Structure 1
Amino acid sequence: MRAPLSWLREYVELPAGETGRDVAAKLIEAGLEVETVDRLGAGLKGPLVVGKVLAIEELAEFKKPIRYCQVDVANSGGEPQNIICGATNFAVGDKVVVALPGAVLPGDFAISARKTYGRVSEGMICSAAELDMGDDHSGIIVLPPEYEPGADAVEVLELLDEVLDIAVTPDRGYCLSMRGIARETAIAYGQQLRDPALLDVPTPNAEGFQVNVADPGGCDRFAARTVTGLRPEAASPLWLQRRLQKSGMRPVSLPVDITNYVMLELGSPLHAYDRERLDGPITVRRATPGERLTTLDGTKRKLDPEDLVIADDSGPIGLAGVMGGINSEVADPEQDPQSGEWRGTTEVVVEAAHFDPVTVARASRRHKISSEASRRFERGVDPEAAAAAAQRAVDLLVLLAGGTAGSGVTHFAKPHGPHTVKIPATHPGRVAGVTYARETVVRRLQQVGCDVYGQDELTVTVPSWRPDLTDPNDLAEEVIRLEGYENLPSTLPRPPAGEGLTERQRLHRRVGRALAGAGYVEALNYPFVGQGSFDQLGLPEDDARRRTVDLVNPLSDEEPSLRTTLLPGLLSALRRNDGRGSQESQGGLALFETGLVFVPTGEETRAGRPGVEARPADEEIASLEAALPRQPRHAAVVLSGPREQPGWWGEGRPANWADAVEAARTVASAAGAELTVRAARYEPWHPGRCAALYVTGEAGGERLVGHAGELHPRVVKALGLPQRSCAMEIDLDAVEKAGGGLVPAPRVSGFPVATRDVALVVDESVPAADVEAALREGAGELLESVRLFDVFTGEQLGGGRKSLAYALRFRAGDRTLTADEASAARDAAVAAAVERTGAVLRGAESPAGS
């Protein structure tokens, strides 16, 4: 909202020397967002006067129209000024604005006498754009005939002013008017408000224009007034045009300018209908299926049954609260070239109404129209100001257009009582953390416009222009902001002692740090998916991951559901980064994400929507929780390209399925869980390079918690990923349960380690994890760790056989192991592996080391 300071002074008696920046500072202290203070005419200097065109000589020897004009500016010498001008929208006898030599126009444009087009031009006849009054370069300014030559054009055009540009938040719709801003200014300066809405409004009668409100829920106020005998040639006076221009609006015609002016002044949008173009009474109703309306912007729109429309017997003539229809608009005045008579609208019906904010907001978004009217209605307009706004428009039409106000007055009002809120007098102080006296609370609420009754318990009647004041905290905010936010003490909150991160939160951080330390970069993705994502992953139709929770109002129709897996978002991030050259610049991509997935169980119930007036009851909260799907927390990684860069230190290595498995081991290690890995077939992984991940369950058996490996080539192609991309996804909650709580810190032993290497030959079908488990069980308590460091297959082993080489580390906690003790433990481990897996010892014993 742009508020000229000169206009604001009409409603508030500001100190004489108060500048726009001073007023802006006061309003900012009161909680309004004043973005800028524009100083109009700041670069204007020198003589700028009214001139009368005495003669015009057309210079026809040039390609474009050039006119040599004699203009009377009533200067001291008495001689007219000779001025070259290219505009053609003025004639002899017209009054124009002349910048004389020595003047400086906005933009540091200096005016001097100079020779051009073979003549000497002694000044310039100005357009609106040259005086920074607007963007109109089409012609120069033609003034009304009452101004005398030589008059100061700076005063005539009100070129010197300051304009406050205020960003009005949605809860302060009343500030989209001079009345609302003046009210806040009056409070800030402790002055009385000269309320422009305090007008004498005639009593409604049966003689008014007939209006039928068929939907009182969508329109609870409707005032209609008729004005006849308008002069079509009547133009908006300069003061009216300038106030519209300073407020950011373009003058159009007198009836339209008046409705816009009253909207800016009182905040109540108006609409003027050409009475001769109306067919029967006005009706306010919902649109019927198939109806269409051509709005004032020339667009033919298909109406929705939820749209609230203004209609007559011919059909819709306006989209209520948004934009009028072209069929009933006020006609632009035209002059008959032969008779000289003016033709145009001579009778208008002025509409001032109050429409439901939600209805207007939805219609505005549905039809993609953001008008000045819709901006105000959807933020809340004073319903009690409709009759006053209509009266104000009628008064201006009578005054400026020579019209006659009709005796009929139509005013529909849906009965409703005032909105009251009960609030303890001490409540604002408790909210702010300071002490406010009862008198202070009452005074501030009365300044806002409230009626206040009571002593300790106040009954507050909210003014009609403040629909945002609905509960005690809203009233407390008004008291606090008017008393000054800067007066509130600064205190640090004190968290309760003994409460910190939960174990679940600690694990979340440990996993993130561990994966980041392993070279992965965290990627946060939207939790939305569509069935197309599952198709690209190659999931079967009966896959449980296709059963999703659908959103009522999704951000995108292509992703209407909540995710059941982290992979679609991560793989999209991998593709996006690869497409932008991240792999070439960084040498490889490795991303991870930890987050919730949403798994419907089919046992969810349908919960109602609790109210906002109080905390929901325990039963309501339980019902809401029962309606939620299961939400386990997962961790996932995706990687492609080089895992180890080549350099002087040696050859590089591309990422493969083993790196994805290692990422799972990293997650399990952060949770303190032992991970078992077995070969598997599971989409979207490659059937020969996929590993199933298991942990020990609560009942002692194994529990599947995830998969890792290389993605299927079809999936890589469908998603546009780099070749041989790999991924891992694991159920972090299940891993946390298997970990058993806190992860112990590593212990450094003071005794040396004894290392033994063994190589065991087994059938290719035997999982390495089974061989490792057998070695651990057979080695006993002296075994510190076991690591698979080599897998070998070849003709010397025979078909279907493989050799697994393990490094066994032995250590005692209270002594140095002897070579015999380490060898005995190694032999026991091998014996267990031979018995359980059919392994055959292949290697020789390595020397003990420490």
Structure 2
Amino acid sequence: MQFPESWLRTLANPELDTEQLAHCLTMAGLEVEETNPVAPPFSGIVVARIVEAEPHPDADRLRVCKVDDGSGELLQIVCGAPNAAPGLLVPLARIGAQLPGDFKIKKARMRGVDSFGMLCSARELGLSEDHGGLLELSADLSVGQDIRQALKLDDVLFTLKLTPNRADCLSLLGVAREVSALTGVPLQRPQSQPVVPAIHDRLPVEVKAADLCGRFAGRVIKGVNARAATPAWMVERLERAGQRSISALVDISNYIMLELGRPTHVYDLAKIAGGLEVRWANEGEQLELLNGQTVTLTPDVGLITTQDQPTSLAGIMGGEHSAVTLDTTDVFVEAAFWWPEAIMGRARKFKFSSEASHRFERGVDFQGLTEDLERMTALILEVCGGQAGPMDDQVIRLPERKAVAMRLARCQRVLGLPISREQADDIFTRLGLAHEWQGDTVTVQSPSFRFDINIEEDLIEEIARVYGFENIPDAPPVAPALMRVKPETDRGVHGLRTAMAALDYQEVINFSFVDEYWEKDYAGNEQPIRLLNPIASHLSVMRSGLIAGLVANIRHNAQRQQARVRVFELGRVFARDDSVANSDLSVAGVSQPLHLAAAAWGPSVSEQWAVPRRLVDFFDLKNDLECLLGKQARQLRCEVAVHPALHPGRSARVLLGETAIGWLGELHPRLVQEAELGSAPVVFELDVAAVLNQPLPKPEALSRQPIVQRDLAIWVADQVPYQSLRDTLTQTIAADANLSIVQEIALFDVWRDAERADGRKSLGLRFWLQNASATLDDATVEQCMQRLLDALVQAHGVSLRA
């Protein structure tokens, strides 16, 4: 929010300079983002009147002007501005004047004619980019007056960075109310006497949606002069607050919004003769707005209509159909209280924002509505003339302002300050908060302009703000240091991050809200959880997986000539689950598990001379997964399964024992093509809860006995997975105590004979056998190997390879 300091000081004028006032507001929670002078430094420039303007004898585009600068003698100035004409008041830079950019004015000779100064445009003074001609000044100014004083150019523009909860400070009155409370200076609220109706005309208004509009007030004003000039003081304040002057009626409406925080609207009465109706929109209705945009409406948007034709978006923007023009003579001025919930996010839905919606969705004072409308009426009558009708004020349903209690002891404990009852009482009084004490507990009635005071902590914050955050002593907190012993089996999410970083992955953090097509393409989710108020149209649903975000990270890097990318993310995903109930950390119907996903793309290792280049594959990621799981990797299983985002023949369901914990595989070729990647990334995604706890290692004495190694080459049907053979061997060993000497099993070879037509493959298995107490003899080893082979033959019909 931007405003000139001089405007603020008309409402509250403390004995503080600009820097001190900015600091005071910032320390009270109204951050002054920047302060800028209205005009850059310059000197020696005065108001002057052009007395004569004759063509230059030797230049078609130049004029020789005689200028009165108040010194008693006319100055000769050569000027090339097209609007230089007798009688015009313009800025004159005398000889010796200093212009912005350290440009000094000297006597000049132009095409043989002497020039004793320079007549200035707005751009030459640094006031705007307009350089089409001389800056034309008001005829009310005095000749010879310093231009900085005449135009109040020593003013300062304040830019506030307000938090969303402080909607009451989206006006000069709101900021002045804060200044008054902080400094103790009286608040000079803009006053205007109620307008006595001169006519009896009324406009019928029917409010059909109490959940949209809580209060609606308005009045008819006839015989206005819409072509009247907006007063110079109002134009100056509007422009310095970032508003462009349009016409008197529109300017007055904007002025009331900036001064009092009250968005209003002015209708051309001739275009709404049938009255107004306030209701929710019907599906498919259309409205052309004042900004030229035509919007198609939905039932969650409020409307003001006339004869069932939309005239404006409630609380957002007026329509072009009912807008006032310079030919308007009769108007209807309206001010209403729109429920914040009914306005919130609607403007963003149509991809624009307005000053009105910005205020209404945060909450606007609902009690001072008629007083603000009276001031607006008085300004219209003063500037545009006309006759006003009676005020119509419909109160449908207003917010209930519940009293909030604050315990003084609680306030002292939270702030760490010995705040007395007298100090708290004084602060609430200065803030204009009606309150009542019962012992050491104060009950505060929230005013109608403060939508941010709802709980005890809000009142404690008000105490801290006015007391002064900088006055709170910098004392370290004192608390008993009770150390909690972390279970050795729990490595936590930070342990997972450390493990992933050690595996050469870099962590990324992506948005939890994603594009809807991501959910359909990468997760097969046809009913994703939608956001009620998305920050962008392409970030409209909550993610149910992390893979899509990692692929986007890879694509971003690939487009910037990165040849090898390894990234991981640890974050929450969101899925519908009716079993989830509401709690402090959960939302009913939505499960929010923590997932860990990783993606690798490009060469398996960084390019180097000692290792041939090979693209990362399924087994590289599986190896990383085993390293991540540590001792749990013994229970890791990969079963062939289909995932929407993964290659149908190169993907697997990851299981830990019999529990499914995630997915592993190459990205689907179609998604690879969409991402414009030369090769497929390999990814895995796990449920973090399943891998957080690691079993403690059990130390065992090293055996002194030698290890015996045996290989077993078998033929097996091609469709039989190695995991099935491994499971059979594991179960057989567990069921026979004599087989406990088998320490490890590994697959070291897979071979298919092109000449065989029976669809069988050859697997080479290696076994390590060791007895902790005795050296193994050949008979025992052979008996063990035969027992294992028999189990494979019986379960899978394998045969020895010759």
1:508-552 deviations in Å (ceiling 9; x for gaps): 555544444333444555567889668867xxxxxxx74666314
Which residue does the alignment assign to 2:69? 73
> What is the CA-CA distance between 1:175 and the residue it aligns to?
1.4
2:30 corresponds to which of 29, 32, 41 = 32
CA distance in 1, matches of 2:71, 2:624: 89
CA distance in 2, matches of 1:307, 1:548: 26
> What is the CA-CA distance between 1:460 and the residue it aligns to?
2.0
2:169 corresponds to which of 162, 175, 185 = 175
Deviates most, 797-806 or 372-381: 797-806
CA distance in 2, matches of 1:322, 1:185: 29
Which residue does the alignment assign to 1:846? none
Q: Taking structure 1 as reference, are residues 268 and 842 closer, same or farther at Cα in structure 2, changes over 3 Å only? A: closer
CA distance in 2, matches of 1:687, 1:408: 75
- Matched AA of 1:53: I
Unaligned 5+ segments in structure 2 are none
Which residue does the alignment assign to 1:519? 504
Task: Indicate whether 1:443 and 2:426 are aligned.
Answer: yes
> What is the CA-CA distance between 1:356 and the residue it aligns to?
2.9
- Matched AA of 2:713: V
Which residue does the alignment assign to 1:655? 616
CA distance in 2, matches of 1:31, 1:691: 54
1:423 is paired with a residue whose SS is strand
- Matched AA of 1:354: F
Which residue does the alignment assign to 2:17? 19
Q: Is the 8 A contact 1:762 1:837 kept in 2?
A: no
- Matched AA of 1:71: V
Q: Is the 8 A contact 1:174 1:465 kept in 2?
A: yes
1:463-494 deviations in Å (ceiling 9; x for gaps): 22212222332222212211122344544485
1:235-281 deviations in Å (ceiling 9; x for gaps): 33433322222222223333333333333222222334455665354
Structure 1 segment 64-103 matched on structure 2, within 5 A? 66-76=62-72, 78-88=73-83, 91-103=85-97
CA distance in 2, matches of 1:725, 1:219: 54
Deviates most, 248-257 or 229-238: 229-238
Q: Is the 8 A contact 1:11 1:193 kept in 2?
A: yes
Q: Is the 8 A contact 2:220 2:331 kept in 1?
A: yes
Q: Is the 8 A contact 1:187 1:447 kept in 2?
A: yes
> What is the CA-CA distance between 1:735 and the residue it aligns to?
6.5
CA distance in 2, matches of 1:836, 1:314: 83
Task: Indicate whether 1:758 and 2:710 are aligned.
Answer: yes
Structure 1 segment 224-373 matched on structure 2, within 5 A? 224-225=218-219, 234-274=228-268, 279=273, 281-287=275-281, 292-312=286-306, 315-332=309-326, 348-373=331-356
Q: Percent of counterpart pairs with the same letter?
A: 29
Which residue does the alignment assign to 1:837? 792
> What is the CA-CA distance between 1:789 and the residue it aligns to?
4.3
- Matched AA of 2:17: T
Q: Taking structure 1 as reference, are residues 122 and 351 closer, same or farther at Cα in structure 2, changes over 3 Å only? A: farther
1:101 is paired with a residue whose SS is strand
Q: Is the 8 A contact 2:203 2:219 kept in 1?
A: no
1:21 is paired with a residue whose SS is helix
2:632 corresponds to which of 671, 675, 683 = 671
Structure 1 segment 714-733 matched on structure 2, within 5 A? 721-723=677-679, 726-728=682-684
Q: Is the 8 A contact 2:227 2:247 kept in 1?
A: no
1:762 is paired with a residue whose SS is strand
CA distance in 2, matches of 1:388, 1:280: 27
Which residue does the alignment assign to 1:808? 768
Q: Is the 8 A contact 2:64 2:76 kept in 1?
A: no
2:43 is paired with a residue whose SS is coil
1:421 corresponds to which of 403, 407, 411 = 403
2:6 is paired with a residue whose SS is helix
- Matched AA of 2:184: G
> What is the CA-CA distance between 1:405 and the residue it aligns to?
4.8
Which residue does the alignment assign to 2:135? 141
CA distance in 2, matches of 1:405, 1:202: 10
Q: Is the 8 A contact 1:69 1:85 kept in 2?
A: no
CA distance in 1, matches of 2:293, 2:654: 61
CA distance in 1, matches of 2:517, 2:403: 52
Q: With the length of structure 2 as denominator, give the TM-score of the two structures.
A: 0.83
Which residue does the alignment assign to 1:57? 54
Deviates most, 526-535 or 161-170: 526-535
CA distance in 2, matches of 1:785, 1:203: 100
> What is the CA-CA distance between 1:24 and the residue it aligns to?
0.5
Structure 1 segment 431-470 matched on structure 2, within 5 A? 431-456=414-439, 457-470=441-454
Q: Is the 8 A contact 1:672 1:742 kept in 2?
A: no
Q: With the length of structure 1 as denominator, give the TM-score of the two structures.
A: 0.79
CA distance in 2, matches of 1:149, 1:706: 82
> What is the CA-CA distance between 1:84 and the residue it aligns to?
0.5
CA distance in 1, matches of 2:594, 2:399: 51
- Matched AA of 1:30: A
1:550 corresponds to which of 503, 521, 528 = 528
CA distance in 2, matches of 1:447, 1:384: 20
Deviates most, 303-312 or 525-534: 525-534
Deviates most, 147-156 or 163-172: 147-156
1:598-647 deviations in Å (ceiling 9; x for gaps): 6767xx3697xx7xxxx88xxxx99x66x445x66665544444324564
> What is the CA-CA distance between 1:32 and the residue it aligns to?
0.7
CA distance in 1, matches of 2:518, 2:130: 53
Structure 1 segment 708-719 matched on structure 2, within 5 A? 708=664
- Matched AA of 1:830: M
Which residue does the alignment assign to 1:9? 9
Unaligned 5+ segments in structure 1 are 333-343, 538-544, 698-702, 844-850
Q: Taking structure 1 as reference, are residues 229 and 496 closer, same or farther at Cα in structure 2, changes over 3 Å only? A: same
CA distance in 2, matches of 1:431, 1:287: 47
1:779-835 deviations in Å (ceiling 9; x for gaps): 7555554444455677999995636252626473xxxx66x4476764454233233
Q: Is the 8 A contact 1:676 1:695 kept in 2?
A: yes
Which residue does the alignment assign to 1:155? 149
CA distance in 2, matches of 1:548, 1:244: 50
CA distance in 2, matches of 1:144, 1:246: 17
> What is the CA-CA distance between 1:19 and the residue it aligns to?
1.9
Which residue does the alignment assign to 2:115? 121
Q: Is the 8 A contact 2:81 2:134 kept in 1?
A: no
CA distance in 2, matches of 1:247, 1:4: 7
CA distance in 1, matches of 2:269, 2:64: 45
> What is the CA-CA distance between 1:140 and the residue it aligns to?
3.0
- Matched AA of 2:711: A
> What is the CA-CA distance between 1:113 and the residue it aligns to?
3.1
Which residue does the alignment assign to 2:378? 395
2:20 is paired with a residue whose SS is helix
Q: Is the 8 A contact 1:128 1:136 kept in 2?
A: yes
Q: Is the 8 A contact 1:133 1:245 kept in 2?
A: no
1:71 is paired with a residue whose SS is strand
Q: Is the 8 A contact 1:761 1:802 kept in 2?
A: yes
| Aligned positions, number | 783
Q: Is the 8 A contact 2:436 2:442 kept in 1?
A: yes
